[in-house]
Amino acid sequence: MAGPVRGLAAGAVFVLLWQALVTLADIPPFILPGPVRVVEALWSNLGLIGWHAGITLTEVLAGLALGAGLGAATAIVLAVSPAARYLVRPALVATQSLPVFALAPILTLWMGYGIWSKVVMTVLIIYFPVASAFFDGLMRTPPGWLDLGRTMGATPARLLWRIQVPAAIPSLASGLRLAAVYAPIGAVIGEWVGASGGLGYLMLLANGRVKTDLMFAALLVLAALALLLHRGVGWACDRLEARLD
């Protein structure tokens, strides 16, 4: 309970400072609305925000599932194949030098304004952290465990699935926790470039109509979704690690 209580306390302090800044500095609402105005906008547009939040959440969950699966599979291939490490790993590292956000317009051009361009954008952002973290964990399996497995006659496949993969689960969990943080970024960037729905699209729409309170309300919901996703993935990872202990 200490964690949620600290989070609520920090949130309350942030809201109080926010309201104090707006009041004392007399900032116009169209520049920075107060928390009361944002809550009112959230309540009065609850259905609209909920509908767009559902689109963003679908994009994020689909991208997270696909990116995590592809990243884990790539890490296993790299771990078992020296040729793949020689050919594929440098290419993966090189791709990270490209500004991934700059690919969003290209993905929108190729895939249109539907959810798939946002899903692919999310996959591109989280794929490398998951693959890199899991691969490092697979390659750092204690040599003594592998030697013991070989002494007992284990095949390379059994060494992988019975020793290396379980030993690398904490590393995979770290990659997944990072992915849970990055996934909403990919979806929203894609929505900003071109979309017909989603919280990023709603924020742009509200900004264009100078509805700053609605824009902040959508941002607040997006932050809440990101926090819930991070906690959900963290809880699942903790459960998985506990079962392997």
Per residue in 51-79, pLDDT (tens digit) is 999 999 999 999 999 999 999 999 999 99
Give the pLDDT score at 11: 76
Q: Which of 228, 176, 174 is nearest to 65 (CA)?
A: 176
**11: in domain:** no
Token pair of 137 as six digits:
């964990």
Among 28-32, 91-95, 161-165, the range scoring the smallest mean pLDDT is 91-95
Question: Containing domain of residue 159, as a range?
Answer: 29-244
Q: What angle do CA 73, 79, 81 make, to 5 degrees?
A: 100
What pTM does this model have?
0.89
Number of domains in the chain: 1
Asked if the model's pLDDT at residue 81 lies above 80, the reply is yes
Residue 148 has pLDDT above 90, yes or no: no
Q: What is the CATH number of the domain that holds 75?
A: 1.10.3720.10
Identify the pLDDT of residue 140.
Answer: 92
Q: Is residue 77 part of a domain?
A: yes
- Burial of residue 118 (CB within 10 Å: 0-12, 13-18, 19+) is buried
Classify residue 5: in a domain, yes or no.
Answer: no
Per-residue tokens: 224:
């809440």
